[in-house]
Amino acid sequence: MTNETVSPQLGAIAREDEHVAHNYHPLPVVVESGEGAWVTDIEGRRYLDCLAAYSAVNFGHSHPELVRAATEQLGRITLTSRAFHNDQLGPFVEALARLAGKDMVLPMNTGAEAVESGIKVARAWGYRVKGVAPDRANIIVADGNFHGRTITIVSFSDDADARADFGPFTPGFRSVPYGDAAALEAAIDENTVAVLLEPIQGEAGILVPPSDYLPAVREITERHRVLFIADEIQSGLGRTGATFQCDNAGVVPDLYLLGKALGGGIVPVSAVVGNRDVLGVLQPGQHGSTFGGNPLAAAVGSAVVGMLATGEYQARARMLGERLHASLRRLVGQGVVGLRGVGLWAGIDIDPTLATGRTVCEMLLARGVLAKDTHGATIRLAPPIVVSEEDLDWAVQQLADVLAELRG
């Protein structure tokens, strides 16, 4: 095949594959632009984005309010480091603390950094406040968790791909079955400083725990004087029809871990949010980030928090989520063997005798829908909250057509 016969898309993919580390297996589409819930590839084809960058694009691509906030700040100053103050950080952390009903914010960049920071804070709190003996602190986590891919985080993952050939691993974690409050309590001892959980396990396939699980975790952690850390990096900031999924469960954790949508799909922004009696354990020099709390990130983050403060996006995710799940339930028995989710977030188990999740996502791609597979035969849908009812219905119909084609 000559260079002249290679399509722009295939050429761009080949160029990327030649020089980028192969730690991802993306679908064969090269996105060039996006607006709202839709993106366009370099050959002009349009796709409905039903992944939203794993919930980082909750408010859609190129949201005018977020673009305006970023553009205005770009013309002023983008980075000072925390060696100095900047005029955007104060308003951002004040607004985010108010949104979460907490006192303090530790600004970081990526979700994994928020998780790592939460672990450090919990250990420091355990030693300095609870009185745990030096270097004896442990943290309870859940089987099937996904909190990131740093060495410490994969140390308590049970995903073989995340762990293979990356040891030795960081000690200090105990994993128990997700959704089992009794097992969680049994794992707690005098050196336990925190329980770290996803209110809904995203990467595991949008696993929603029993309705009494998070309230039980909150009661157990309070009774044992253990911090409850909620990783709301994917589930938070409107995705499940509430500001936080913990709101839906009627619980308030000691620490929220936030990221993804906090940066509006424009810049990486993450945060640990909690009260002064916990986050106040950090003193100057004990933790930091050159880019954490930078003016550009703070300006965008402030705009995101302002949008969420209206409640409009949470209400829209609830309404559209009911529509999405009602439509998807009609596919159970028609090639779908399991369905889970809350709000605009769905995990769909495809009959493994029909196809893998990857195959279904490739067939959806050919029909103009972007989705992502996980764990063999499960696909995930998480469209931007700004998606229209008509576009949402159309996406489900494409899935129905794909399943009909597979069933023959």
Q: Which residues of 53-87 are buried (b: 16+ CB within 10 A; e: fewer)?
A: ebbbbbbbbebeebeebbeebeeeebebebeeebe
**Catalytic member of 260, 291, 372, 391:** 260
Decide: helix, strand or coil at residue 404: helix
Specify whether the CB–CB gap between 113 and 121 falls below 8 A: no
Separation CA 31–CA 39 (nearest Å): 7
Is residue 59 among the annotated active site residues? Answer: no
Two tokens at 61? 């691509």
Nearest alpha carbon to residue 150 among 176, 117, 175: 117
Planar angle of CA 128, 129, 135, nearest 5 degrees: 45
The residues, any chain, with a CB within 8 Å of residue 243's CB and separated by 6 or more, are 99, 100, 236, 237, 308, 314
Q: In angstroms, how far apart are the furthest CA atoms of the chain?
A: 70
Q: Give the CB-side neighbour count of residue 268, counting CA atoms within 13 A.
A: 10
**Catalytic member of 231, 349, 373, 391:** 231
Separation CA 173–CA 195 (nearest Å): 10
Three-state secondary structure of 198-225:
CCCECCCCCECCCCCHHHHHHHHHHHCC
Tracing tokens 């095949």 back to the chain, one arrives at 1
Q: Beta strands 270-274 and 255-258: pairing type?
A: antiparallel
**Catalytic member of 92, 146, 173, 228:** 146
**Bridge partners of 194?**
139, 227
The residues, any chain, with a CB within 8 Å of residue 283's CB and separated by 6 or more, are none
Is residue 146 among the annotated active site residues? Answer: yes
Separation CA 265–CA 269 (nearest Å): 9
Nearest alpha carbon to residue 253 among 276, 230, 235: 230
Is residue 372 among the annotated active site residues? Answer: no
**Active site (catalytic) residues:** 146, 231, 260
